[in-house]
Amino acid sequence: MITFNKEQQVFHLCNNQISYLIEVEEHGYLAHLYFGKKINHYSGHYQYVRDMRSFGPYPEAADHDTFSLDTVMLEYPGYGFGDFREPAYNFKLKDGSRITDFRYDSFEIVQGKCTIEGLPHLYTNQETEAETLIITLKDDVAKLRLKLNYTIYQDYATVIRSTTLINDSAETVEINQLASQALDFPNRSFELIHLNGAWGRERQLTREKIEIGTKVLDSKRGSSSHHQNPFVTLVEPTTTEFQGEAYGFCLVYSGNHQTVIEKDNYSQTRVVMGMNPFNFAWQLPAGESFHSPEVVNVYSNQGLNQMSKTYHDLFNHHLIRGEHQLKERPVLINNWEATYFDFDDAKIHGIVDEAQALGIEMFVLDDGWFGERKDDHRSLGDWYEFEGKLEQGLEGIAQYVHDKGMKFGLWFEPEMISKDSDLHRAHPDWVLSVPGRPRSLSRQQHVLDFSRADVRDHIYQQMTAILDRVPIDYIKWDMNRNMTEVYSLLLDPEMQGEVSHRYILGLYEFMEKLTQAYPHILFESCSGGGGRYDAGMLYYMPQTWTSDNTDPIARLKIQYSTSLVYPISTMGAHVSAIPNHQTGRETSLDIRGNVAMSGVLGYELDLTTLSEEEKALIVKQVDFYKEHRQLLQFGDFVRLKSPYEENEVAWMFVSKDKKEAIVFYFRVLVEASAPYVTLKLAHLDETLEYQIANHVISGDALMNIGMYIDPKLHGDYATQAFILKAK
């Protein structure tokens, strides 16, 4: 998979799908040659044009002026020696200088994939599944080493990259930037796809032409955020879901992040991705090292659906871990939108009784069970039972749920603290805050300083006291605000630029410890919905609450674009009440069900108020979902019609053996005298015939001719589902 041609000085990472080429240049700089479809043989004759450009600096030792770092495609560009484009790293040395000059030193090829201590990372199940190239660059003056890490898997069109800085000097070095990677492309007309949004409308797909200049996509919020997901794609203008080239970049990190896309004045494009350098200053003592998060690069020459399939399969098999990695997720009922804080034993029993009768498999008790949590003004940080709130207590409720043959889940928000709490009264210094300055509130709460081990230990002890006493099958881990006043009262002044990253490292340590101690528990991450939906969290928690917005029409866009990178098995989706609590929209139970079944199905409404007709329909939905759950959670997801382009939306699920498929069709608004709709399917076996209701149609006909949607489908927010089974 990885070779080094000594004569050409070229590294070639390849499998049956892709090639990635790196060259050691004449002055020891590391040049990027190619990333894309597999090249069977590289002759060594493809190089960038050697051409003198005015104001293009060249090395003093060079015997010509046609080599300039300002025009070469580089693997890991720096600043100060002639490259004026976006750098991948920035270090402050003891003398105040920021000028470094890293040259090639050595390489190592190892079987399998290296782990990263303290950070989420992809892994191999067997060493033969992957190979890793480690290229070492050195700055002999600063006495620093960079290790560029590249992993290629045997069966995936992906290259995983990360970077390590090693301080071999006798002095402390300040890291202001250490991107996970940079990737340069030659003159091409790319478009950029990225996922932006806000609370309740996460990961909205934006596609735009990349013009000459620099575009920065980032989060400074202390989390990956609702507002800008740490994932981007570069595509050709003609790329669609089914054809054309796509380059995906996904950062495996949950904190502040930054992606810079720069198209220079020679129309070369550079993508730099990693931790956000804003307000970042890490003191690296002599003899120590610092490791960046990973970036998962995926290439497709068969459109966006193929790129997504690679991400889904890769994350399901080489990122998500534990007992629930490939286990079917249960259908749940969450009490939040049914009761909010106003619940007692009788209300909970009523919801549980109805849920059992409807075939729902798990009850989740949300916010309001702890401390004196009457509302959102108090008690975060006091993770003990709200005395008198539930007469039976948590143990009694859990027992009641289990006696019904259901699982029991519980809500926590471990990273937060209320001012009106026993914890805050005892430890106000445990809050992220700047001495002498007022503190900001969001949802009436502050952020605990999770960079501190004593804070983490206290919260861990409280949580485990509950988990050791109450039989819990599922935890929803929430985080309902972003960081402000990012300052730790425990750290020295010169280390305050480390707080945001130390917080994330502390969070990861906590989650690793908790999930390993309770491997039977299914953990779902949440941050006011999908405010921390990223690959880093999936390493610890295999499921994420996609959005607090449960309106099915809004969810069409949210779930469609989320599926660009994140697997369906990770995507929590609930049927909720109407009018919808976030949008006020009224929609049928049919469309609410079909949208929610396109993720991990759950319900979030007062089941005790439903009509018999509604209950009967929910029984059908739950039965249908259970029957097809393996396909819907772990089959191949294929996007057919985009909610960002049309009034109609369609997607489908195809089994790995292509013998079964389910198609969901949605129409947002009805039209008078509407045109007839033909829906072309995809990813079927063209040699098979499929039973659809009373019809038998060949796979090639379904993919090339298509199938008609019933013109009698009336009203706004209409939907249909089709089941295909091979004969």
67 and 176 in a single domain? The answer is: yes
Total number of domains in the chain: 3
Does residue 642 lie in a domain region? no
500 and 387 within one domain: yes
> 220 with 101, same domain?
yes
Which of 634, 657, 677 corresponds to the end of one domain?
Answer: 634
Mark whether 413 and 506 lie in a shared domain: yes
* Residue-range definition of the domain harbouring residue 597: 332-634
Task: Please say which residue of 574, 609, 634 terminates a domain.
Answer: 634
Q: Is residue 326 part of a domain?
A: no
Pairing of strands 543-545, 522-525: parallel
Do residues 377 and 264 share a domain?
no
**C-alpha to C-alpha distance for 325 and 569, rounded to whole angstroms:** 9
Burial class (CB in 10 A: 0-12, 13-18, 19+), 75: buried
Annotated binding site for substrate: 199, 366-367, 443, 476-480, 526, 548
Q: Which of 70, 548, 551, 636 is catalytic?
A: 548
d(CA 679, CA 649): 10
Query: Residue 721 is part of a domain; what is its CATH number?
Result: 2.60.40.1180
604 and 694 part of one domain: no
- Cβ(310)–Cβ(157) below 8 Å: yes
- Residue 548 bears catalytic tag: yes
* 344 plus 475 within the same structural domain: yes
For the question of residue 70 being annotated catalytic, the response is: no
Which amino acid appears at position 282 of this protein?
A: W
Which residues share a beta bridge with 410? 365, 475
Mean pLDDT by groups of 10 residues along the chain of 727 residues: 95 98 93 96 72 73 74 93 93 96 98 98 97 98 98 99 99 99 95 99 99 98 98 99 99 99 95 99 99 99 99 99 98 98 98 99 98 98 97 98 99 99 98 97 98 99 99 99 98 98 99 99 98 99 99 99 99 98 98 99 98 99 99 99 97 99 98 90 98 96 94 91 97
Together in a domain, 501 and 600: yes
DSSP character string of 117-150: TTS-----SSGGGEEEEEEEEEETTTTEEEEEEE
- pLDDT of 136 reads 99
CATH number for the domain harbouring residue 470? 3.20.20.70
User: Are residue 156 and residue 66 in the same domain, yes or no?
Assistant: yes
Q: What is the CATH number of the domain that holds 15?
A: 2.70.98.60
Is 290 in the same domain as 339? no
Residue partners of 176: CB distance under 8 A and separation at least 6: 90, 91, 92, 98, 277, 280, 281
Task: Give me the residue label for tokens 């030193």.
Answer: 105
Contact, 160 vs 113, CB < 8 A? yes
Give the pLDDT confidence score for residue 45 in this predicted structure: 65
What's the pTM?
A: 0.97
Element (H, E) at 347: helix 345-358
The answer to whether position 345 is within a domain reads: yes
d(Cα 264, Cα 270) in Å, to the nearest integer? 8
Q: How many CB atoms lie within 10 A of CB 97?
A: 12
Q: Is there a single domain that holds both residue 225 and residue 362?
A: no
Within a domain: 639: no
Question: Phi first, then psi: what are they for 463, rounded to 5°?
Answer: -65, -45
Same domain, 693 and 612: no
Domain assignment present for residue 641? The answer is no
Assigned domain for 643 exists: no
Rounded-to-integer distance, Cα 258 and Cα 181, Å: 11
**Domain for residue 273, yes or no?**
yes
- Last residue in a domain, options 319, 340, 361: 319
Is the CB of residue 680 less than 8 Å from the CB of residue 699?
no
What is the token pair recorded at 330? 């249960």
Alpha helices, DSSP H, located in 579-639: 589-596, 612-627, 629-634
Residue 711 in any domain: the answer is yes
Known binding residues? 199, 366-367, 443, 476-480, 526, 548
Catalytic residue, from 101, 478, 534, 551: name it: 478
